[in-house]
């Protein structure tokens, strides 16, 4: 399971304050904590600062990569901010995200296709959020084929089928899960990714629902997630689910995590 640590996001007040104050130590500590907890990419988002996103996203990449030897997940729809951040980024980043929305797609395609980056492909079009698995698969097929036509490698594509709240429509969880399975089987070698906390919006016990849904999504083939790796219960669920679907040789990751007291449930 490829974990993208989600915490360095300017929509969070503490992060926005640290960015504005140029507080390197705080940002670097959060990057280190996420790396130690198992993140393999550190998401960086400065989108709350529209006028200074270029400057701040670049600063975040430099600040994070001084602290950890990990690539970033560059979380912006702004090609100018991405290009500036890419100039200072070391290693192979993930671009978060492209979609079938015409404006976003046209702007980001040159950035993505010029390089051998990993890219999050949102199942979103100008028709809005998908509702059914069929909606998602239709968008995914068009978007993936479009990216392949532009020489992006299949194994660099992370399709995000978009989680929606089951409290809004009780079919939303099932349709999401179905789409993960179908995307993984139609494009052998592709990846699926998501941030799944939306699924529990409007319900009690959200964290419990989120981690239960994570195990269910792993059962369906999900192999990457944007999440808070400091959430020990969530990470325990990921480890358990991975062992249970045979993605953990001899269950050693799970057993070692247990021995280290990391299986908090």
Residues in contact with a copy of itself by the rule CB under 8 A? 166-167, 170-174, 177, 199, 203-205, 208-209, 212-213, 215-220, 236-237, 240-241, 243-246, 248-251, 254-255, 258, 263, 265
Q: Which is nearer to a copy of itself, 40 or 174 (CB)?
A: 174
Closer to a copy of itself at the Cβ: 144 or 216?
A: 216
Region of 128 on the Ramachandran plot (φ > 0 left; ψ -120 to 50 alpha; else beta): left
Query: With respect to a copy of itself, which residue has the nearer C-beta, 19 or 199?
Result: 199
Minimum CB separation of residue 241 from a copy of itself in Å reads 6
Give the separation between CA 108 and CA 139, rounded to whole angstroms.
17
Nearer to a copy of itself by Cβ, of 8 and 216: the residue is 216
Question: Minimum Å distance from CB 43 to a copy of itself?
Answer: 24
Helices (H), 120-251: 133-149, 172-186, 206-219, 232-244
CB 225 within 8 A of CB 4: yes
Q: Which is nearer to a copy of itself, 70 or 241 (CB)?
A: 241
Smallest distance, Å, CB 204 to a copy of itself? 4
Question: What is the residue whose two structure tokens read 């709240």?
Answer: 165
When the beta carbons of 53 and 248 are compared against a copy of itself, the nearer one is: 248
d(Cα 155, Cα 166) in Å, to the nearest integer? 30
3-state secondary structure of 40: coil
Place of tokens 């996420």: 34
Question: At its nearest, how many Å lie between a copy of itself and the CB of residue 184?
Answer: 13
CB of 205 to a copy of itself, least distance (A): 5
CA distance 264 to 233: 5
- The minimum distance between CB 144 and a copy of itself, in angstroms, equals 23
> Buried (b) or exposed (e) across 171-191, using 16+ Cβ within 10 A?
ebbebbbbbbbbbbeebeebb
Element (H, E) at 4: strand 2-5
Residue pointed to by tokens 């560059």: 74
Q: Looking at beta carbons only, is 159 or 241 nearer to a copy of itself?
A: 241
Q: How far, rounded to the nearest angstrom, does the alpha carbon of residue 63 sit from its chain's CA centroid?
A: 20
CB of 140 to a copy of itself, least distance (A): 19
């Amino acid at each position: 399971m490829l974990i993208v640590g989600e915490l360095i996001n300017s929509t969070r007040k503490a992060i926005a304050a640290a960015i504005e104050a140029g507080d390197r130590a705080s940002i670097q500590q959060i990057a280190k904590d996420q790396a130690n907890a198992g993140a393999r990419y550190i998401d960086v988002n400065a989108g709350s600062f529209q006028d200074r996103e270029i400057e701040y996203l670049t600063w975040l990449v430099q600040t994070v990569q001084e602290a950890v030897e990990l690539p970033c997940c560059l979380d912006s729809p702004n090609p100018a901010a991405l290009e500036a951040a890419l100039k200072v980024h070391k290693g192979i980043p993930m671009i978060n995200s492209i979609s079938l929305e015409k404006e976003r797609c046209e702007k980001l395609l040159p950035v993505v296709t010029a390089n051998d980056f990993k890219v999050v492909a949102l199942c979103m079009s100008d028709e809005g959020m998908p509702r059914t698995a069929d909606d998602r698969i239709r968008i995914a097929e068009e978007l993936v084929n479009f990216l392949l036509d532009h020489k992006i490698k299949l194994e660099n594509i992370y399709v995000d089928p978009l989680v929606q709240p089951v409290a809004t429509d009780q079919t939303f969880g099932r349709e999401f899960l179905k789409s993960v399975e179908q995307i993984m089987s139609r494009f052998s070698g592709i990846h699926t990714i998501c941030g799944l906390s939306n699924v529990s919006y409007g319900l009690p016990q959200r964290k419990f629902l989120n981690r239960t849904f994570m195990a269910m999504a792993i059962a369906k083939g999900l192999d990457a997630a944007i999440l808070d790796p400091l959430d020990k219960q969530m990470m325990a669920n990921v480890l358990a689910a991975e062992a249970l679907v045979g993605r953990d040789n001899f269950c050693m990751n799970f057993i070692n995590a247990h021995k280290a007291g990391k299986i908090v449930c």
